[in-house]
Amino acid sequence: MVYAIILVALVLTVIGAARARRIALRPVAAFEAMQRSANEAIELGRGIHVSFGSSALRDGSTLAAISTAEILYAMADRTMLADHPVISTLTDPITLMLSQDTLRKAYNARKLLQYEDIQTRWYPAGEESLAFAAGASIAMLDQEISTNIFAGRFGAEMSILAENAVRYDRNVIAQSDRIDGQAVAFAISEVPFIGEELYTSAAYMTGEPISIGGIVAQDVLRYLIIAALIGLAVLAFLGVTI
């Protein structure tokens, strides 16, 4: 059964990728806001701050780290000619290399040499990552940042980051894969950015056909599972056993 589901998912992904140009993705306010913020950063001569939080490439937040890297690449690509470069902040040393490589890849794609490793800032993780929150808050204020994108793993420390951003009139787009962090993010983010929306960043921000195909596969499988659950519930109500 599991292999059948995997096979169906792969087939749907390939079909979706082949038809990517004709597939209209449903609007996601957070990604639309990110695209607007890139334009604003160029017009205002400011930078963008993308924070991974404590997302790491070795635990349950691996997918969140990779998805945030997709956002970082897209924002760097869109704002490369702005007066201030994109910066990223994080706490995990392995994610540090991911962030640096992502930015380097974006600059190389445009054949530009302005990239510097200091665009990625590492801060030590303490209890509830308060040390990180303090360091990232200073970084966003030292730089001329117009929009802060917090995506990945954040706890209650997000309230410190958000409070500093709002106090100094910086825009905030936030999400977390932890309940306490998501509660703060939902309250302070200018647009809702909830749950699995982060994991669709490659499709929305880069438009890669294979990523769009993956979203199509997820949606189809979701509807099939819902239909199966409803069918089983009806059969159980009618007293039919399988």
Q: What is the pLDDT of residues 110-159, one digit of tens each?
A: 777 777 888 999 998 765 678 888 888 888 887 789 999 999 999 888 98
Q: Assess contact for 153 and 68: CB atoms under 8 A.
A: no
Buried-exposed string 24-43: b where 16+ CB fall within 10 A, e elsewhere: eeeebebbebbeebbebbbe
Tell me what percent of the residues of the chain surpass a pLDDT of 70: 87
Residue 241, domain extent: 208-242
**Does one domain contain both 195 and 220?**
no
150 and 224 share one domain: no
Query: Are the CB atoms for 206 and 181 separated by under 8 Å?
Result: no
Domain count, the chain: 2
Q: Residue 20: inside a domain, yes or no?
A: no
Q: Please tell me the predicted confidence (pLDDT) of residue 142.
A: 78
Q: Assign residue 195 a region: left if phi > 0, alpha if psi is -120 to 50, beta otherwise?
A: left
Closest to 217 (Cα-Cα) out of 232, 231, 205, 199: 199
Whether the pLDDT of residue 14 is over 60: the answer is no
For position 240, what pLDDT does the model report? 75
Same domain for 203 and 91: yes
**183 lies in the same domain as 81:** yes
Query: What is the rounded CA–CA span in Å between residue 197 and residue 7?
Result: 24
Over range 160-178, report the average pLDDT.
Answer: 89
Maximum Cα interatomic distance, the chain, rounded to a whole number of Å: 69
What is the spatial order of strands in the sheet that 47-53 belongs to?
A: 120-122, 87-90, 47-53, 145-153, 171-174
Same domain, 190 and 107: yes
Residue 52 clears pLDDT 50, i.e. is over it: yes
Say whether both 101 and 188 belong to one domain: yes
Same domain, 187 and 213: no
- 186 has pLDDT over 50: yes
CA distances to 40, 129, 159, 165 from 156, in Å: 29, 9, 6, 15
Please give the pLDDT value at position 151.
93
What is the pLDDT at residue 92? 92
CATH number assigned to the domain comprising residue 164:
3.40.50
Q: For residues 96 and 106, what is the distance between their CA atoms, to the nearest angstrom?
A: 16
